[in-house]
Homo-oligomer: A and B are copies of this chain.
Amino acid sequence: MNKVAITQLGEPRYTSPIDVIGEEEFYTPSVVQWPAHGNPPDQLFFERAGPRRKLFFDPKDTRAAIVTCGGLCPGLNNVIRSVTRQLMRGYGVKSVLGIRGGYRGLDPARGNPPLELTDDIVEYIHEDGGTLLGTSRGPVDVCEAVKFLISRGVNMLFTVGGDGTQRGGNALFEEAQKQGHALAVVGIPKTIDNDVQYVSRTFGYGTAVEAAVRVIHSAHTEARSVDNGVSVVKLMGRHAGFIAAAATVASQDVNFCLIPEVPFKLEGKGGLLAALEARLGWKNHAVLVVAEGAGQDLLGATGEKDASGNTKLQDIGVYLRDKINAHFKARNIEMVMRYFDPSYQIRACAANTEDALLCDRMGRHAVHAAMAGKTGLVISFLHGQYVHVPISEIARSSKRVNLEGELWRAVISSTGQPGEFR
């Protein structure tokens, strides 16, 4: 048994005003059981998220802050709203600061002053995409930021962002301890790519798949309205092809799905171009979906990084478009190419129903954890339950599409594509 510890700022002393959970429930990250062997010895167990009996912070003396970082993702406003509502209406906290423009807003020299969030300000923000607070990429001077938080009397910080943001949050907690300030830092993991370890599903991912399906539908319509129509749709997915794969299965309109996890070659008998040509011979049109991180080996990536520390990707979509055009031109086969690159459209959408449900829970559980004095963790949705995962644990690795699992099998079934292009 391997109970995953969560850092606690100190002994919680205040009785909670709200209905609490049983605190001794733990969840395992895998529900697969090998009954012959019992549970594997290194099985992890995560504690259940939810309201605790005892609070570490006295609500009437608590001031919270929330910050959204990195690229847009459907549901950011939903999280902001539920965090605010749970603090104010659930615990009676009087002040919630909205940090503006990402981590930059924690540095008075660089950012705008925070927005004092109220019930009225957040009332309808969940109906909109984007983030009320604004966002940016890149880190902040940890020392300046903690000084700023102390100067504003902030006891807890909610960080909505990706890997870098969560590691940054941890650094803030550690610096605050160094400066003698009890600051709870609780993360809500944000990645539209859905590639966080120990998280079944990140918010915004489902909305992105839905929006992607609509684009694929147009791509399919274009392709089948002409002779030898080929539509190429580039979707999000830097290291993991979850969006491309799920959109492929949900639409049932895709013939080739390319993801970072599955290298492919273009030329030769087993290559993609030959398979595409065969498809046109058979069905006269084709739809290709490609995750932005797929096939980077073909493009000779430079390793350059952006402000968030992400490797800059080469444009596989444009590359494929051009290679396909050249192939058919060389073989003197008339073909009509349509290229779709809808990522910014997709990520700016408002959260759909599923994500609205996720975000509400994410936000409220983050508040429960912080009020109890927990820190250095993110809220995770794991197999239908919400649990606490230490930032150290999720930072260790990231999630990939399992090529033996349900999703990729479904891609193979619905596209009819071969397992690999080799």
Give residues of chain A (315-339) contacting chain B, Cβ–Cβ below 8 Å. Answer: 338-339
Residue of B nearest to A213 (CB): B353
**Cα distance A413–B90 in the bound complex, in angstroms:** 7
Tell which of A122-130, A153-161, A176-184, A264-272 binds the partner. Answer: A122-130
Contact of A406 among B89, B344, B385 (CB under 8 A): B385
Give every chain B residue within 8 A of A352 (Cβ-Cβ): 210, 352
Give every chain B residue within 8 A of A25 (Cβ-Cβ): 32-34
Q: Is the Cβ of B226 less than 8 Å from the Cβ of A135?
A: yes
Q: Is the Cβ of A130 less than 8 Å from the Cβ of B344?
A: no
- The answer to whether A19 has its CB under 8 Å from any CB of chain B is yes
- The answer to whether A419 has its CB under 8 Å from any CB of chain B is yes
Tell which of A9-17, A165-173, A244-252, A390-398 binds the partner. Answer: A244-252
Q: Is the Cβ of A35 less than 8 Å from the Cβ of B31?
A: no
Q: Is the Cβ of A131 less than 8 Å from the Cβ of B225?
A: yes
Q: Is the Cβ of B206 less than 8 Å from the Cβ of A354?
A: yes
- The answer to whether A227 has its CB under 8 Å from any CB of chain B is yes
- The answer to whether A308 has its CB under 8 Å from any CB of chain B is no
Give every chain B residue within 8 A of A382 (Cβ-Cβ): 31
**Cα distance A246–B25 in the bound complex, in angstroms:** 24
- The answer to whether A386 has its CB under 8 Å from any CB of chain B is yes
**Cα distance A361–B414 in the bound complex, in angstroms:** 10
- The answer to whether A221 has its CB under 8 Å from any CB of chain B is yes
Contact of A225 among B130, B206, B247 (CB under 8 A): B130
Smallest CB separation, A231 vs chain B (Å): 8
**Cα distance A28–B135 in the bound complex, in angstroms:** 41
Give every chain B residue within 8 A of A215 (Cβ-Cβ): 345
- The answer to whether A164 has its CB under 8 Å from any CB of chain B is no
Give every chain B residue within 8 A of A134 (Cβ-Cβ): 224-227
**Cα distance A87–B168 in the bound complex, in angstroms:** 47
Give every chain B residue within 8 A of A31 (Cβ-Cβ): 27-28, 31, 382-385
Interface of A is mostly: mixed
Smallest CB separation, A259 vs chain B (Å): 16
Q: Is the Cβ of B33 less than 8 Å from the Cβ of A221?
A: no
Q: Is the Cβ of A28 less than 8 Å from the Cβ of B33?
A: yes
Q: Is the Cβ of A386 less than 8 Å from the Cβ of B357?
A: no
Q: Is the Cβ of A410 less than 8 Å from the Cβ of B364?
A: yes
Q: Is the Cβ of B28 less than 8 Å from the Cβ of A221?
A: no
Give every chain B residue within 8 A of A416 (Cβ-Cβ): 89
Using known A-B contacts A210-B353, A357-B249, determine if residue A27 contacts B33 with beta carbons closer than 8 Å: yes
Give every chain B residue within 8 A of A410 (Cβ-Cβ): 357, 360-361, 364
Smallest CB separation, A26 vs chain B (Å): 5
Smallest CB separation, A272 vs chain B (Å): 20
Interface string of A399-415 (1 = CB under 8 A from B): 00000101001101110
Known: A213-B353, A247-B353, A250-B356. 18 other contacts (CB 8 A): A22-B404, A24-B34, A24-B36, A31-B31, A31-B382, A72-B221, A86-B413, A101-B226, A134-B224, A134-B227, A135-B225, A136-B227, A210-B352, A218-B348, A231-B344, A249-B360, A250-B357, A361-B410
30 pairs across A/B with beta carbons < 8 Å?
Answer: A1-B35, A19-B412, A26-B35, A27-B31, A31-B31, A35-B45, A39-B39, A50-B409, A85-B413, A85-B414, A89-B416, A101-B227, A104-B227, A127-B127, A130-B221, A134-B225, A134-B227, A231-B344, A246-B357, A249-B360, A250-B360, A252-B360, A341-B341, A352-B352, A354-B354, A360-B414, A364-B410, A364-B413, A385-B406, A386-B406
The 7 closest A-B pairs by CB, nearest first: A218-B348, A130-B221, A221-B348, A383-B383, A210-B353, A130-B225, A250-B356
